[in-house]
């Protein structure tokens, strides 16, 4: 393990050889893999890179310009205090949720419950086998919610993959009772159009509303017809979750014809995903506000009536954004950070050739009041540690670190690792800490690294796609005040008011 006092600033040629083979051109013309149907529930397929790129990686490791294979490096203000490898669920690790002394880890094969009462030694409480990518996960009270975004033979946890062209295929939301964390019980299933790639909870006292994000309709899919430009809203009674049902499908991008509204993508906007739904939504229930990352569009909308969300503003970036992936509000709700999943989570996009703007986070100020609020672009942020051409690196899931008067967040970047950065000055964001591993593979392009990195009750928890569950502790005067903020529950996409 290597500790560095600050982020590496030495620039290198790494990534240029791979780009010369056409990587950049490919990224600019491609869009992320379709959400429906998923090709299966196994790990991502590795792809070999050129011999010149392999030699470049070996040279960079030998020169100490990048970490060695699986070698851990981090800034001096972060400690790596625990790792729990994957166990009986071998699939891709995905999102995280938290409740009390428990962490809930999604996996393409199901989910895992950890006891994190001692963050230095997390213990497995239970593991539930229930395949169905991508198993995005949330919790509320005694209920756990799991997204299924691959076509299955039925809604059971014993289902098998089945083509989306068959009417009997199933995709959607699953609901579990977790009153006994050691023995979760499957209690409800709701089929949703085009499945459930991600979901977001809007909790109430008696009910939980679930906003289901899905996309990529196709005329050949009976349950996923174009234009689809909306979200499914599910109402789940807390005391009778078996009665969960869809109560609305609000169209967020109205338009004429089969293509609907939203960003048309290419050829009008080369390299930009066509909007056919949303990828992820973050809500601020205390402020009746939500931000949607919707493929080719970023949106701000009101959830004052949770069954009927209303668009306030809509923005596009047809120069540097390829796929609007996720959103994070600051505490004051006057900024939104949108992430760009350039390459669809399957490409080496943190290279010198791709540069600092493409595949970056976009920081937007929210200006104005009420229904006249606007999203105004201020700057980009991207990690400044170029990765190897064998490392899939992309802006991914993160959360606020609750510091009053400051805008600081932690974020996962796949094999780019975990980054802690400050965007208090919207126009000049800066990284203040990081943690990463060296390439998982030095000869083949491989999907690995942190899918999600979230701050919860004094620690950073990271769900590594390949390496398992990591626990980090940051010791920095800029983030120290966050140690005193305690939450009973955290679903990052249901953003709390940390200082209420």
The model's pLDDT over 254-299, given as tens digits with 9 standing for 90+, comes to 987 777 899 999 999 999 999 999 999 999 999 999 999 999 999 9
Q: What's residue 48's pLDDT? A: 87
Above pLDDT 70, what percent of the chain? 91
Between CA 458 and CA 204 the distance in angstroms is: 27
DSSP-derived secondary structure letter, 348: B
Considering only residues 391 and 22, tell me which one the structure prediction assigns the higher pLDDT: 391
Between CA 437 and CA 467 the distance in angstroms is: 10
53-57 average pLDDT score: 91
Chain-wide mean pLDDT for the chain? 92
pTM as predicted: 0.94
Contact at 8 Å (CB) between 340 and 356? Answer: no
Judge whether residue 400 has pLDDT over 90.
Answer: yes
Q: What's residue 19's pLDDT? A: 41
Domain ranges of the chain: 2-490
Q: What's residue 66's pLDDT? A: 93
Judge whether residue 44 has pLDDT over 70.
Answer: no
Between CA 351 and CA 26 the distance in angstroms is: 14
CA distances from 465 to 107, 259, 326 (A): 9, 34, 18
The model's pLDDT over 342-352, given as tens digits with 9 standing for 90+, comes to 999 999 999 99
CA distances from 342 to 167, 308, 392, 404, 480 (A): 32, 31, 11, 32, 33
Give the burial class of 81: count Cβ atoms within 10 A of its Cβ; 0-12 exposed, 13-18 middle, 19 or more buried: middle
Structure tokens at 52: 């010149």
> Thinking of the domain 2-490, which architecture would CATH place it in?
7 Propeller (2.130)
The model's pLDDT over 445-459, given as tens digits with 9 standing for 90+, comes to 999 999 999 999 999
457-463 average pLDDT score: 98
Between CA 203 and CA 214 the distance in angstroms is: 20
The model's pLDDT over 22-31, given as tens digits with 9 standing for 90+, comes to 444 445 444 4
Judge whether residue 363 has pLDDT over 70.
Answer: yes
Judge whether residue 7 has pLDDT over 90.
Answer: no
Contact at 8 Å (CB) between 449 and 414? Answer: yes
Judge whether residue 442 has pLDDT over 80.
Answer: yes
The model's pLDDT over 196-209, given as tens digits with 9 standing for 90+, comes to 999 999 999 999 99
Q: What's residue 184's pLDDT? A: 98
Judge whether residue 187 has pLDDT over 60.
Answer: yes
Judge whether residue 178 has pLDDT over 50.
Answer: yes
The model's pLDDT over 73-129, given as tens digits with 9 standing for 90+, comes to 999 999 999 999 999 999 999 999 999 999 999 999 999 999 999 999 999 999 999
């Amino acid at each position: 393990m290597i500790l560095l006092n600050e982020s590496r600033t030495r620039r290198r040629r790494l990534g240029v050889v791979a780009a010369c083979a056409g990587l950049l051109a490919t990224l600019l013309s491609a869009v992320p893999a379709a959400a429906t149907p998923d090709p299966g529930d196994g790990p991502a397929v590795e792809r070999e890179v050129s011999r010149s790129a392999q030699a470049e990686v070996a040279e960079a490791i030998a020169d100490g310009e990048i970490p060695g294979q699986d070698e851990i490096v981090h800034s001096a203000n972060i400690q790596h205090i625990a790792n729990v490898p994957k166990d009986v669920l071998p699939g891709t690790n995905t999102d995280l949720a938290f409740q009390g002394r428990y962490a809930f880890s999604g996996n393409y094969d199901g989910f895992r419950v950890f006891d994190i009462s001692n963050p230095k030694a997390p213990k497995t409480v239970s593991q539930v086998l229930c395949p169905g990518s991508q198993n995005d996960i949330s919790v509320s009270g005694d209920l756990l919610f799991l997204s299924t975004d691959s076509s299955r033979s039925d809604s059971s946890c014993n289902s098998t993959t089945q083509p989306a062209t068959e009417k009997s295929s199933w995709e959607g939301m699953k609901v579990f009772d977790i009153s006994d964390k050691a023995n979760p019980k499957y209690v409800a299933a709701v089929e949703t159009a085009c499945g459930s790639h991600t979901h977001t909870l809007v909790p109430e006292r008696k009910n939980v509303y679930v906003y289901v994000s899905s996309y990529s309709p196709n005329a050949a899919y009976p349950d996923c017809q174009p234009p689809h430009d909306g979200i499914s809203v599910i109402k789940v009674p807390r005391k009778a979750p078996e009665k969960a049902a869809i109560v609305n499908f609000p169209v967020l991008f109205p338009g004429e014809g089969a293509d609907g509204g939203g960003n048309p993508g290419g050829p009008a906007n080369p390299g930009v995903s066509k909007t056919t739904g949303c990828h992820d939504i973050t809500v601020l229930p205390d402020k009746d506000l939500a931000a949607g990352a919707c493929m080719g569009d970023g949106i701000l909308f009101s959830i004052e009536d949770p069954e009927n969300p209303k668009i306030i503003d809509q923005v596009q970036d047809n120069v540097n954004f390829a796929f609007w992936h996720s959103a994070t509000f600051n505490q004051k709700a006057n900024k939104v950070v949108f992430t760009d999943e350039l390459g669809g989570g399957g490409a080496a996009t943190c290279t010198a050739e791709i540069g600092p703007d493409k595949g970056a986070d976009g920081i937007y100020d929210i200006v104005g009041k009420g229904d006249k609020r606007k999203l105004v672009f201020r700057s980009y942020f991207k990690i400044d540690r170029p990765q190897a051409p064998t490392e899939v690196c992309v802006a991914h899931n993160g959360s606020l670190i609750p510091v009053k008067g400051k805008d600081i967040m932690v974020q996962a970047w796949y094999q780019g690792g975990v980054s802690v950065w400050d965007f208090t000055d919207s126009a000049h964001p800066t990284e203040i800490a990081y943690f990463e591993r060296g390439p998982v593979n030095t000869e083949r392009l491989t999907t690995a690294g942190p899918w999600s990195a979230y701050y919860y009750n004094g620690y950073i928890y990271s769900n590594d796609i390949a390496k398992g569950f990591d626990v980090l502790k940051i010791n920095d005067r800029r983030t120290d005040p966050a140690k005193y903020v305690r939450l009973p529950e955290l679903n990052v996409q249901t953003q709390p008011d940390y200082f209420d």
